Structure 1
């Protein structure tokens, strides 16, 4: 018989207030946070910010969070109408339906919510994903000097030789 033990370290000061079962459920629910971060970074394109100043980067991040919340709102509305769980609705599909509707200048309606609710995500308990960087390194070094200085260096010395 295999016994599966996990040790959870929390900041809860009174262990009598929370049961082991509720902590276990909370630990499993953290996966939704991981999925939401993935949707923000990959699906909505927040993995690389285009702004240069910290203030503008913060505004850009808030715009991504706002867009994420709007898409989640559409998923929740669809879930209420069709009596399904909101987390069974694909975030990417919901985004694609909304983008299509917004391009043809239509407001959200029952037909849109019906389209959003069709493809469903299955319940996959105990699912794990590898933690690895997928982005491949570029063969170029980073531009660490002003562009004009880099251009002058290229005019003077030519492009650096490719490494083999």
Structure 2
């Protein structure tokens, strides 16, 4: 038990794995879980749009590149302002970068450096709010479809459909 919390693990050697380090690892793991949830919700990854595994892999890779680009801007802004990068809003940074994308495309080099400075200042001005979360139900809002899920290969489903009519 660490700070009133119980952590269950299969790492049994107390000398190699002290309970404080187990608790620290758990907290770091929890940050990763929250980051994955943020990526899925803020970068529209709840439902992938592609149909093949190869394209799904590419779509996920592109989303992670976008996430790293956004987090890179957050980290740079935090560095220049002596702030913690985790205290800056990812969604607000995404909106700032998205709103500036057309100006950045046509900007010349001298204007680009001024624009970059303004962007970094805008990013640092969007901290994550410290608010108490309201109690919410754990449910998905997606409405059910009138069709059942496709649980076999599409080709097989088509053949079964043709066979059912003959």
Give TM-score scaled by structure 1 length: 0.72
Give the deviation of 1:123 after TM superposition: 5.9
Give the deviation of 1:134 after TM superposition: 2.3
Q: Residue deviations 1:23-61, cap 9 Å, x none?
A: 223222333212211222110011111111111101111
Gaps of 5+ in 2: 159-166
| Inter-partner Cα distance in structure 2 for 1:143 and 1:27 | 36
Aligned twin of 2:96: 97
Greater percentage in helix: 2
Aligned twin of 2:125: 118
SS at match of 1:70: helix
| Inter-partner Cα distance in structure 2 for 1:11 and 1:72 | 34
Equivalences for residues 47-126 of structure 1 within 5 A: 47-105=46-104, 106=107, 107=112, 109-122=116-129
Equivalences for residues 135-146 of structure 1 within 5 A: 135-142=141-148, 144=150
CA 1:11–1:101: 2 relative to 1, 3 Å? farther
Structure 1 stretch 27-36 or stretch 83-92: which is displaced more? 27-36
SS at match of 1:109: helix
Q: Residue deviations 1:55-94, cap 9 Å, x none?
A: 1101111111111111110000000011100000000001
Gaps of 5+ in 1: 150-164
Contact 2:70–2:94 under 8 Å retained in 1:
yes
Give the deviation of 1:14 after TM superposition: 4.0
Give the deviation of 1:139 after TM superposition: 4.4
Aligned twin of 2:29: 30
In angstroms, what is the RMSD of aligned CA positions? 3.0
Contact 2:93–2:126 under 8 Å retained in 1:
no
| Inter-partner Cα distance in structure 1 for 2:39 and 2:97 | 16
Aligned twin of 2:139: 133
